[in-house]
Structure formats: structure tokens, C-alpha cells
Amino acid sequence: MGYTIAAKLLDIEAIKLNLDNPFTWSSGWKSPIYCDNRLSLSYPETRTLIKQALASTIKKNYPSVEAIAGVATAGIPQGALVAEELGVPFIYVRSKPKGHGMENMIEGKITEEQKVVVIEDLVSTGGSSLKAVEALREAKMEVLGMAAIFTYGFDVADENFENADVSLVCLSNYGLLIEEALKRGYVSDDQIESLKEWRNNPGSWKQ
């Protein structure tokens, strides 16, 4: 399934690879890859594949799930689709409390001790994802784990999730992506080493 998801994301150009003119992330990192899984929502076949794959992954890894929580913003539509597929309640978690009204950070009905799985579209360092987990735990919900469409597989993310005691399962990852890109001729054998170098040292790549 991981290769299939990677192939679909490449097909719709949700994932772009460019080593000659790398993208600049908000962190300032130079990156040969840009991943925008929001594009999948505009392609019904891909959208359905991802929805069903996430639902199946959750059933397998978190069978006692009672609710789905999407991480704002990109995890909200994906999470709503998955909650509908599973037939369970849906809530979402803001990056910070709303600045007016009830000043909620979690939107939807909060049920204490309810078993919830968090949905994220993309995991890089895991910082924003784990903030959502923290908010849910503070609301006394039981976080079973997190499911995401794609992860870069950075060591710092693995450490962050381990330290926060959060299980993470992803449909596809960076390693599968570059293998698929190589098979399709999107990148050459010579470029693979540079792509692997970025994966291991993203902060210092091409600095």
C-alpha cells in the first residue's frame, strides 16, 4: 500500500521533487521535496483510496477507536472523511485556542476517557501533531495513537513521538517515495545519494 500511495501522490503532483531548485520550508530548511497532500482532496479516486487506507490502518492498529481527531488545518478534511468511513464522532484540534467566543482549542464534543485516534496529513518533526495530542490529553481523552498519510521519517520525529509516548502509523514514507520516483525516471541514480543525504541531515543540506 505504501508504494501505491506514493505513486498516487506523484501522479497528482501532490509531491514534487526538485534538486536543482530546492524548496524553502518555513523553518528555513532547503528541501528537494514539497508535499501538499491537500491536493488529494480534489481527486475523488485518490481521496477515496487515502480515506479507505487510513480507515483500514486504524481498524488494524487501533481497533478500540471511538472517535477521530483531525489536526488543523490539513488533517481536518482527511479526518472528517475517515470518521465518516468508520462511523464514529469527529473533532478537530486548532494550532492555538480561538481568539474569541468560547476560545476553544478543540472543536466538537469532548467526551472524557473517549478513545481517540489523531489524523495528520504529513509528519515532519512531529511538533504540531504532538501539540494536538497534548491538548486532547489535557481534555482527558485517551489518545490511542496517530495515523498520517506521509512521513519524512526524520530521526527527530521518531524521538519526539517516543518521548511523548505516542504511537504513529503512516501510509507512506520518504524511502518508498524516492524508490517510486526512481522507478518512474523522475530522479536519476546519481540524485538518489543527494536525496538520502537530505533525509539524514535536512538542516545542513545545500547550506
Q: Tell me if 167 is assigned to a ligand binding site.
A: no
Q: Which residues contact 6 (CB under 8 A, 6 or more apart)?
A: 15, 172, 176, 177, 179, 180
45 has binding-site annotation: no
Residue 153 contacts residue 199 (beta carbons within 8 Å)? yes
84 is in an annotated binding site: no
For residue 63, the 8-state DSSP code is T
Rounded Cα distance, 188 and 182, in Å:
6
112 assigned ligand-binding residue? no
Question: Is there a binding annotation on residue 36?
Answer: no
Q: Is 46 annotated as a binding residue?
A: no
What are the residues whose beta carbons fall under 8 Å from the beta carbon of 189, sequence distance 6 or more? 182
127 is in an annotated binding site: yes
C-alpha pair distances (Å), 51 with each of 20, 43, 79, 82, 121: 34, 12, 8, 5, 11
Residues paired with 205 in a beta bridge: none
Consult the annotation and say whether 187 binds a ligand: no
Is 125 a known ligand-binding residue? yes
190 assigned binding-site residue: no
Annotated binding-site residue numbers for orotate: 124
Binding-site members are 94, 98, 100, 120-128
Annotated binding site for 5-phospho-alpha-D-ribose 1-diphosphate: 94, 98, 100, 120-128
